[in-house]
A and B are shown apart, each in its own frame.
Chain A
Amino acid sequence: MRPHPSLVLALVIVTVVGLAVVLVELQKPRAPELDDPWSQLPEVAAHVDHSTFFDTDFADGPAVTQACMECHADAAQDFLHTAHWTWAGDHVETADGTQEIGKKNLLNNFCISIESNWPRCTSCHAGYGWDDADFDFADATKIDCLICHDRSGQYQKDPTGAGRPAEHVDLLEAARSVGRPTRANCGTCHFNGGGGNAVKHGDLDGSMMFPTAAIDVHMGRHDLQCVDCHRTEDHDIPGRSMSVSVSNTKRIGCTDCHAAAPHRDERLNSHVEAVACQTCHIPRMAPRVATKMQWDWSTAGEDRPDPDPHEYMKGKGSFVYDTDVAPDYAWYNGTSDRYLKGDPIDPDGITAMNRPHGDAADPRAKIWPFKIHRGRQPYDAELGHFVNPKTYGEGGYWETFDWDQALRLGAEASGLEYSGSYGFARTEMYWPLSHMVVPADESLQCADCHGDDGRMDWPALGYDGDPAERGGRRRAGITRTASSTTTTDHQGGTR
């Protein structure tokens, strides 16, 4: 059946208008593909109000957990396999075979080791009652659900209670309030690492609870929560901390949401190959609250008159804090070395507790920003390895100020040999920065790195000179052109 002529006429008009639209678009330039990070954010499940689910008070933490497990038993089981519970995860090959390493058994250059100090250190464990080496990691009732899921704001752990909640906490209120974790939940532990606010990471501190956009653009301007980037499935929280991990798995990255080369400027995009996003977009650490840059245990034990706790504490030694610190820069391909318990050291040199792998010649490596924490800590002067002191508790250094005893007790707990003679050796520890991302308008500019006033030490990074003048590592022939084989893990994220 022939269509009515008027209809055809109308179609003609429409196609002419359509043609006009085509012609208009043809006159416009090809628009570059725009970065659309909002489309990549995780979908958040609807909040289930637990306020009517509980009516009797809870005796202790595990009682709450058992109540949770009535519905969430599989979640509990899942959690038992994760690093937040086991404080271990990576497997490394050593002379004695495969070792599982983690915070549980590694040394750092802050408070050094949890071994022999559990009740104090495990106050940040997502569990209850890790008092000693015999904690039952298979007991799901010991899981602390509330530390991550409490939304009442009054849930706190006893600082020396091996993970148990503090006295004043109303467990019933906490249980009723549970929901998706917020920055407050994560931050209550992660902002206070190393013994206090802002001490440890450099890019995580209390100012991130409710940051301004100038402190962190994601969490400040856009009110993202930690779990929006650390997207968790089955309670397995992704993200890599170079302090306790060495591998390149389970990473999160900027490219989980952002395009790999999202700049409109081609010159900026050409940096993506050798420079990590963080390098330009995190130009400083600790903008508001001072972070600890140096910790010298060797000066501990002195009775100084009224010392400033940011400079000296009798039980810990002397410190250097600083704010608004420019990071150090190093090549990093996602994997790193790790000093393990018992490894020998050169007492006259500086031992790197964790050194990032990669250099200018490694095409997988990029220049990352780091906080490098430097310190001096006790080592066995005869046997030549670091020894962990017992600091907290009976016989610990913070009670007795007796290094020899503290080291003996510590070595007992950690299984290290201790000869009885000790000294202090220098260490440095690398903490990569990924938080406190500044708004784009505040990111580093050309002259911040290149040119006479730039902050990069080109020879130290393996360049002959400023790549703005001499060309990047490809043009200068520094990078090896390896044959291409695909890899499963790369620094770009999980996409």
Chain B
Amino acid sequence: MSANPIDGIRRIPLYTFHERAWHWVQAVTILALLVTGAEIHAPEAVSIFGFRTAVLVHNAFAVLLLLNAAMGLFYFVTSGMIRQFGPQPRDFVTMSLAQVRFYAYGIFRGEPHPMQHDAEHKLNPLQQVTYLVILNVLLPLQVITGLLIWSASRWPELVASIGGLGWLVPIHALCAWLFLAFTIMHLYLTTTGETPTTNLEAMVHGDLKTRHDTTTEEAAR
């Protein structure tokens, strides 16, 4: 798997092209939705596009997000990569604790990551749990409430029958806030690799650059 290193740096293929494409499209659309959604939510506080344009752009990116999420799901399922997201019960607690210890203590001392990442093992257990919630609870909730808000125009009786915009919009807005919080956290946590840009580069180029000797550590695992 690992080629002969040059300068002591190994390149471990981590993310496929499609994973990266899906990730960045997701990032761009979520960013656009957050910004335009902010303008719809508080037009005086955020006045960049004008209300009408913000609505149109929000709708456009919502469609793209939906398509991207659907395509992403399809890809992960058919390629089997969806396994990445499932926590392994066998080592879950041990590895979680190790990860927590790393974030709370080890990282300040410059210790290496407790987990070696490769194409088969991309997410640490904490990440797995987080993404499980994000992708299976928060995102669907956001998308469904968004769809229902949109359909208030086309199928007003449907929306009225489930309670109307009065609670759909606040839920949608709350999820948006949580997505914003997550995004900030996510951006920060990407800097917790070997170097602050290791993970970013990996998500752009696809390879994880590491100085560690993977052969001995593979045996140790």
Contacts of A12 in B (CB 8 A): 21, 24-25
Please state if A9 and B61 are interface contacts (CB–CB under 8 Å): no
Report how far A19 CA is from B20 CA in the complex, Å.
Answer: 19
A5 in contact with B59 (CB, 8 Å): no
Contacts of B64 in A (CB 8 A): 16, 19-20, 23
Q: Which A residues, 128 to 171, have Cβ-Cβ distances below 8 Å to chain B?
A: none
A28–B206 CA distance with the chains assembled, in angstroms: 39
- CB pair A24–B17 under 8 Å, yes or no, is no
Does B206 lie within 8 Å of A5, measured CB to CB?
yes
Residue among A13, A22, A24, A28 facing the most chain B CB atoms (10 A cut-off)? A24
Chain A 5-16 interface mask (CB, 8 Å, partner B; 1/0): 110110011001
Smallest Cβ distance from B48 to chain A, in angstroms?
Answer: 14
User: Within the assembled complex, what's the spacing in Å between the Cα atoms of A24 and B24?
Assistant: 21
In this assembly, does B169 line the interface, its C-beta being within 8 Å of a C-beta of chain A?
no
Contact of A27 with B17 in the complex, beta carbons under 8 Å? no
Mostly, the B contact residues are: helix
Do B57 and A9 have beta carbons less than 8 Å apart? no
Q: Write out the residue numbers on chain A whose beta carbons fall within 8 Å of the beta carbon of B24.
A: 9, 12-13
Q: Which residue of B lies closest to A17 (CB)?
A: B28
Cα distance, A13 to B204, chains bound together (Å): 12
Min CB distance, B68 to chain A, in Å?
Answer: 8
A27 shortest CB reach to chain B, Å: 5
Proximity string of chain B (46-86) to chain A, C-beta cutoff 8 Å, 1 when within and 0 when not: 00000001001101110110001000000000000000000
B63 to chain A, nearest CB (A): 6
Residue of B nearest to A11 (CB): B21
Chain A: CB-nearest residue to B23:
A9
| B58 nearest in chain A by CB position | A24
- Complex interface: chain B residues within 8 A of A5 (CB): 17, 20, 205-206
Q: Are B60 and A27 in contact (CB under 8 A)?
A: yes
Is B60 in contact with A23, judged by CB distance below 8 angstroms?
Answer: yes
Give a binary string over A363-403; 1 marks a CB under 8 Å from any B CB, 0 the rest.
Answer: 00000000000000000000000000000000000000000
Q: A5-B17, A9-B17 are in contact. Are A16 and B57 (CB under 8 A)?
A: no
In the complex, per-residue mask of B185-206: 1 if CB is within 8 Å of any chain A CB, else 0: 0000000000000000000111
**Interface assignment of B124: CB less than 8 Å from any CB of chain A:** no
Q: Given A6, A13, A20, which contacts B57 in the complex, CB threshold below 8 Å?
A: A20
> In whole angstroms, what is the CA distance A431 to B108 when docked?
94
Query: In residues 176-219 of chain A, which contact B (Cβ within 8 Å)?
Result: none
Cα A72 to Cα B166 with chains together (Å): 80
- Are A27 and B59 closer than 8 Å at their CB atoms? yes
**Chain B residues, CB < 8 A from A13:** 24-25, 28
The answer to whether the Cβ of B145 comes within 8 Å of any Cβ in the partner chain is no
Give the docked Cα–Cα distance between A19 and B25 (Å). Answer: 12
Q: How far is B140's CA from A250's CA once the two chains are assembled, in angstroms? A: 70
Indicate whether A20 sits within 8 Å of B60 (C-beta atoms), given known contacts A5-B206, A9-B204, A12-B25: yes
Contacting A24 at CB < 8 Å: which of B28, B57, B68, B206?
B57
B29 within 8 A of A: yes
Q: A9-B24, A13-B25, A23-B64 are in contact. Are A28 and B56 (CB under 8 A)?
A: yes
Contact A16–B28 (Cβ < 8 Å): yes
* Chain A contacts with B in 204-244, Cβ cutoff 8 A: none
Which residue of A6, A17, A20, A27 is within 8 Å of B204 (Cβ)?
A6
Contact of B123 with A by CB under 8 A: no
B139 interface hit (Cβ, 8 Å): no
Q: Are B17 and A16 in contact (CB under 8 A)?
A: no
Per-residue contact bits, chain A 249-262, to B (CB 8 Å; 1 contact, 0 not): 00000000000000
Inter-chain CA distance A27–B150, complex, in Å, is: 13
Smallest Cβ distance from A23 to chain B, in angstroms? 4
B61 with A20: CB separation less than 8 A: yes
Q: Which residues of B contact A22 (CB under 8 A)?
A: 60
**Closest chain B residue to A5, Cβ basis:** B17
Residues of chain B with a CB closer than 8 A to A6's CB: 204-205
Q: Decide: A24 and B60 in contact? CB cutoff 8 A.
A: yes
Bound CA span A6–B15, Å: 12
Q: How far is the CA of A494 from the CA of B189 in the complex (A)?
A: 70
For the complex of A and B, 5 pairs with smallest distance between CB atoms:
A23-B60, A20-B60, A24-B60, A24-B56, A12-B21
Partner-B contacts on A (CB < 8 A): 5-6, 8-9, 12-13, 16-17, 19-24, 27-28
User: What are 22 inter-chain pairs, A to B, with CB distance below 8 A?
Assistant: A5-B17, A5-B20, A5-B206, A6-B204, A9-B20, A9-B21, A9-B24, A12-B21, A13-B25, A16-B25, A16-B68, A19-B60, A20-B29, A20-B61, A23-B59, A23-B60, A23-B63, A24-B59, A27-B56, A27-B59, A27-B60, A28-B56
